[in-house]
């Protein structure tokens, strides 16, 4: 028995040498998927863990189909990309966001299929990645149960309805957008994969402020909060496309924050 284990270890070592596997820093969360996810997402890029990437979520996953997460990297200069992922989800990556003319901040809701690390990774101009996150306990089934609108049967009547608001604060605007979409994972019997896969935001002049690729691990009826560089009176255009090639579009005029009661801090 012992001999066999040694032989397997040697074989694996040989395998490693053959692939010249990049070395990632030790995962503070001790996730069984860290190496595999890091290899897929970061490849040969330098990676380090950095607490300035704030991955914020509630203390309890009250609804494993709709788990709110925010990634706030405003304390880091030069962020070009924000990737939100959950190691142990069958579809680990939820959002890959490029804040082109926007603060490095993203809030959305994802599905959880079990207890898992939820992480944010931000990429800087030099290609390096800064990663942070935490564990959240969750009941199963976030990705493998049918969406509520499929059970109710009214998803098609509301497909593509968009709601939102843009409020200008002192450093840019706060844009919130929601879509009605089943965001089918393909993991439910007899329901094929069907989800919104791209979302982009442009200013009045057609300049791209931010865009994202999203996957079916984003919750049904997806919602996003981002902070684009836009001022009061400007009209933002939000475009999205789903995996059936269906396009969605919405327009929002930016209102003054002062019209609202709460003062938004960090």
Binding site for another protein (CB under 8 A): 56-60, 62-63, 66, 68-70, 107-109, 139, 160-165, 167, 174, 176-178, 221, 223, 225, 238, 248-252, 257, 260-262, 264
DSSP assignment of 119-142 equals EEEEEETTS-EEEEEEEE---S-T
**Cβ neighbours, 10 Å, residue 198:** 14
Between residues 6 and 263, which has the closer beta carbon with respect to another protein? 263
Tokens of 63: 């609804």
Reported as type and span, the H/E element at residue 5 is helix 2-19
Element (H or E) spanning 18, and its range? helix 2-19
Residue 156 CB burial class (10 angstroms; 0-12, 13-18, ≥19): exposed
Q: What are phi and psi of 227, to 5 degrees?
A: -125, 75
Cβ closest to another protein, residue 38 vs residue 53: 53
Which CB atom, from 85 or from 248, has the smaller least distance to another protein?
A: 248
Please list, residue by residue across 115-135, b when 16 or more beta carbons sit within 10 angstroms of its beta carbon and e when fewer do: ebbbbbbbbbeeeebbbbbee
Site of tokens 């327009």: 251
CB 228, min distance to another protein, A: 13
Minimum distance, C-beta of residue 106 to another protein, in the bound complex (Å): 9
C-beta of 146: minimal distance to another protein in Å? Answer: 14
- Locate 8 and state its tokens: 């397997």
**CB 236 to another protein: min, Å:** 9
Q: How far is the CB of 43 from another protein (least distance, A)?
A: 30
Q: Which is nearer to another protein, 24 or 105 (CB)?
A: 105
CB of 70 to another protein, least distance (A): 4
User: Between the CA of residue 166 and those of 20, 56, 181, 209, 260, what are the distances in Å?
Assistant: 48, 22, 21, 14, 12
Q: Which is nearer to another protein, 59 or 189 (CB)?
A: 59
Whether 112 contacts 134, CB under 8 Å: no
Tokens matching residue 80: 């070009």
Q: Which is nearer to another protein, 91 or 240 (CB)?
A: 240
Provide the minimum distance between the beta carbon of 184 and another protein in the complex, in angstroms, as a whole number. 18
Nearer to another protein, 130 or 166 (CB): 166
């Amino acid at each position: 028995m012992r001999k066999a284990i040694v032989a397997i270890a040697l074989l694996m070592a040989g395998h490693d040498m053959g692939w010249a596997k990049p070395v990632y820093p030790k995962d503070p969360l001790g996730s069984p998927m860290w190496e595999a996810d890091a290899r897929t997402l970061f490849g040969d890029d330098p990676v380090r863990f950095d607490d300035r990437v704030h991955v914020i979520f509630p203390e309890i996953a009250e609804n494993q189909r709709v788990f709110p997460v925010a990634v706030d990297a405003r304390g880091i200069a030069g962020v070009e990309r924000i990737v939100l992922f959950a190691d142990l989800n069958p579809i680990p990556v939820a959002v890959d966001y490029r804040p082109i003319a926007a603060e490095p901040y993203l809030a959305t809701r994802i599905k959880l299929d079990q207890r898992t690390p939820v992480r944010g990774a931000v990429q800087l101009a030099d290609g390096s990645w800064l990663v942070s996150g935490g564990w959240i306990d969750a009941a199963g089934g976030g990705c493998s149960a049918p969406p509520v609108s499929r059970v109710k049967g009214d998803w098609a009547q509301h497909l593509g309805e968009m709601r939102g608001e843009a409020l200008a604060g002192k450093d840019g605007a706060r844009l919130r957008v929601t879509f009605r979409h089943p965001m089918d994972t393909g993991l439910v019997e007899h329901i094929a994969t069907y989800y919104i896969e791209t979302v982009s935001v442009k200013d009045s002049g057609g300049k791209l402020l931010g865009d994202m690729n999203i996957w079916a691990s984003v919750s049904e009826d997806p919602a996003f909060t981002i902070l684009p560089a836009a001022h009061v009176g400007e009209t933002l255009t939000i475009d999205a496309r789903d995996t059936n090639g269906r396009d969605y579009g919405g327009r929002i005029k930016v209102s003054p924050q002062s019209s609202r009661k709460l003062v938004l801090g960090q």
